[in-house]
Amino acid sequence: MSRVSISEVNGMSEEQFQWVFKNVIELCQDAAEQVKKCRPFRDIAELCTAFHKYLDNLCLEEKLVILKLHPDLAGRLASQGELTKESTEEQQSAGLDKLTLIQKRMIDICNERYKEKFGFPFIICARENKVQSIINGLQTRYNNTKEQEIEIGINEVKKICKLRILDIIKEN
């Protein structure tokens, strides 16, 4: 899909909008359904803010659902080629498709330990990180409280969302 302007976004049918933005928050089409009601948008920043407000306005249980929709980094879905197009590209940009056996084992162990403690996958904006910073994040964030990790996770989802929107919209 070629990138679209903000005026084209504002002129999309409801179905088009939902299709184009259905995965800016991983596997959460409801976000696009709700955000489309906020049109028209003046610019990209306003569109991003609308998606971020969607996340902020969720109750705790709904935030947990959002976090659980994300795949493990370098996990089973990645190895089976079953990630969304966006997640595949993001994990590749961080180098997660080129792990050494030691790095893969370390990430797998840390992912499992993290999920056991918090009940959702470790989320980090892969496009803003590389393998070692992801491993470091898995290790250090494990020491946080569940409340801290929910907040950090949602903030990472916001970063991912913004970058995905920037992939769709062209600057005026």
Q: Whole-model pTM?
A: 0.96
Q: Which residues face 4 on adjacent strands?
A: 169
**110 domain-assigned:** yes
pLDDT of 172: 63
46 conformational bin, left if phi > 0, alpha if psi -120 to 50, beta if neither: alpha
Count of domains forming the chain: 1
What range defines the domain where residue 87 resides? 72-156
pLDDT tens, residue by residue, 54-93: 999 999 999 999 999 999 999 999 989 999 999 999 999 9
**98 domain-assigned:** yes
Catalytic residue among 36, 70, 141, 158: 70
pLDDT tens, residue by residue, 132-154: 999 999 999 999 999 999 999 99
**84 domain-assigned:** yes
Catalytic: 52? no
Residue 1 has pLDDT above 80, yes or no: no
Sign of the four-CA dihedral 75, 70, 148, 95: positive
- Burial environment of residue 92 by CB neighbours within 10 A (0 to 12, 13 to 18, 19 or more): middle
**14 domain-assigned:** no
**119 domain-assigned:** yes
* Ranges of H-type helices in 28-145: 29-35, 44-56, 60-68, 76-79, 85-93, 101-118, 131-141
pLDDT tens, residue by residue, 28-49: 999 999 999 999 999 999 999 9
Mean pLDDT of 90-101: 96
Of 117, 27, 100, 126, the C-alpha closest to 67 is 27
Q: Which domain CATH number covers 77?
A: 1.10.3330.10
**Contact present, 87 and 26 (Cβ < 8 Å):** yes
Question: Could you identify the residue written with the tokens 């992912």?
Answer: 111
**115 domain-assigned:** yes
**92 domain-assigned:** yes
Residue 171 has pLDDT above 80, yes or no: no
Of 86, 165, 81, 68, the C-alpha closest to 126 is 86
**107 domain-assigned:** yes
Q: Which residues are within 8 A (CB) of 163 and not within 5 positions of it... i.e. 6 or more apart?
A: 90, 125, 127
Residue 2 has pLDDT above 90, yes or no: no
